[in-house]
Homo-oligomer: A and B are copies of this chain.
Amino acid sequence: MRSVAIVGTGFIGRGWAVCFARSGWDVRLWDPVDGAAESARRYIADMLPGIAAAGLLTGSTEQDVLARISIASTLTDAVEGAAHVQENAPEDLALKRGLFRELDGLAAPDAVIASSTSALLPSAFTDHLPGRARCIVAHPVNPPHLIPLVELVPAEWTDETTTERTEALMTEIGQSPIRLQREIDGFLLNRLQAAILDEAFRLVAEGYASTDAIDGCVKDGLAMRWSFMGPFETIDLNAPGGVRDYVERYHGMFRGMTETMRHSADWAGPVLDRIEMERREKLSQSELPERQMWRDRQLMALNVHRSTHQSE
């Protein structure tokens, strides 16, 4: 049976386990903390009924999925025979360098070793490895079983076949992989998020709008089209002659705006007091966990919607 090793079983590792197991893969969980993998497997067992009820188990039953997820008592056992290793350790460079040395020594020669890191460049923790050509970043979004994007970020020494195999694997299990041509801090997702958040913080800091107005603007305006097309296709369809026509019409208008975005508000400064106050008026601190469950139910419903309407 085709198997993957999940190294590190926090929220990201647990989501990955569901992604692989519901697609028929044998999943072996490993975590250095005593009892952590067992606890992760119980957490997954608790999650599965909700995912099954939403119809997001790809035709498998809860029992099938859970039966495919086992606990490895050693890292050696976890990676033995695995075609793919997905590492989800804390964002600590020294720790990841050491862990990748171990993984590169233990994994089968033809296995891909992928990191879920969002904060570290692949070159920073794979340069010292004999098998660095089979290492790559495969960065998911939380929770991976409900948000399909996976960013594939090669180091300069990553083999093209490593990227291709990872892309094919992610596609096979129903994720949506995208490729970066080369590494950059934040990859694509967090850079695009940084850009929009930076303007959002500026607009609140300078008194133009409330936190809630900005959320409403994105939720009920911008993100509706983006959620099935992305920003480039949106503008391509927003002028009669396509994207060139759009840029020729509106480039000057947008340049006037971007010229005023050359500074950042201090996100942790007084604006944060206002944002926190406005958020806590909408949702108290104690209601956060319940609202996180609401978010996940919304994501499940959106996945179901997309599976029936996202046809190209």
- A178-B221 Cα distance, complex, nearest whole Å: 10
- A240-B289 Cα distance, complex, nearest whole Å: 8
Mark each residue of chain A from 197 to 225: 1 if its CB lies under 8 Å from any CB of chain B, else 0: 11110010001111111111111111111
Taking the full assembly, how many copies of this chain does it contain? 2
Mark each residue of chain A from 244 to 270: 1 if its CB lies under 8 Å from any CB of chain B, else 0: 100110010111111011101001100
Chain B residues, CB < 8 A from A238: 142
Q: Judge whether B237 and A208 touch: CB under 8 Å.
A: no
- A260-B119 Cα distance, complex, nearest whole Å: 16
Q: Least Cβ distance of A298 to chain B in Å? A: 5
Q: Least Cβ distance of A249 to chain B in Å? A: 10
- A296-B82 Cα distance, complex, nearest whole Å: 45
Q: Is A226 an interface residue (CB 8 A)?
A: yes
Q: Judge whether B228 and A190 touch: CB under 8 Å.
A: no
- A82-B301 Cα distance, complex, nearest whole Å: 41
* Set B185, B193, B237, B298: member contacting A222, Cβ < 8 A: B193
Q: Is A127 an interface residue (CB 8 A)?
A: no
Q: Judge whether A247 and B220 touch: CB under 8 Å.
A: no
Q: Judge whether A298 and B264 touch: CB under 8 Å.
A: no
* Set B147, B193, B195, B219: member contacting A230, Cβ < 8 A: B219
Which chain A residues numbered 134 to 187 have a C-beta less than 8 Å away from chain B? 141-142, 147-149, 151, 176, 178-182, 184-186
Chain B residues, CB < 8 A from A243: 272, 275-276, 279
Q: A214-B230, A305-B302 are in contact. Are A258 and B247 (CB under 8 A)?
A: no
Chain B residues, CB < 8 A from A223: 223, 226-227, 230
Chain B residues, CB < 8 A from A285: 241-242
Q: Judge whether A195 and B189 touch: CB under 8 Å.
A: no
Q: Is A80 an interface residue (CB 8 A)?
A: no
Residue of B nearest to A118 (CB): B253
Classify the interface of chain A: helix, strand, loop or mixed.
Answer: helix
Q: Is A192 an interface residue (CB 8 A)?
A: yes
Q: A203-B188, A301-B305 are in contact. Are A231 and B264 (CB under 8 A)?
A: no
Q: Least Cβ distance of A169 to chain B in Å? A: 16
Q: A264-B255, A301-B309 are in contact. Are A283 and B227 (CB under 8 A)?
A: no
- A295-B198 Cα distance, complex, nearest whole Å: 29
Chain B residues, CB < 8 A from A264: 255, 258
Q: Judge whether A242 and B299 touch: CB under 8 Å.
A: no
Q: Judge whether A213 and B188 touch: CB under 8 Å.
A: yes
Q: Judge whether A195 and B188 touch: CB under 8 Å.
A: no
Q: Is A235 an interface residue (CB 8 A)?
A: yes
- A135-B90 Cα distance, complex, nearest whole Å: 55
Mark each residue of chain A from 283 to 302: 1 if its CB lies under 8 Å from any CB of chain B, else 0: 10100100110010011011
Q: Is A92 an interface residue (CB 8 A)?
A: no
Q: Judge whether A208 and B195 touch: CB under 8 Å.
A: no
Q: Least Cβ distance of A195 to chain B in Å? A: 4
Chain B residues, CB < 8 A from A268: 247-248, 251
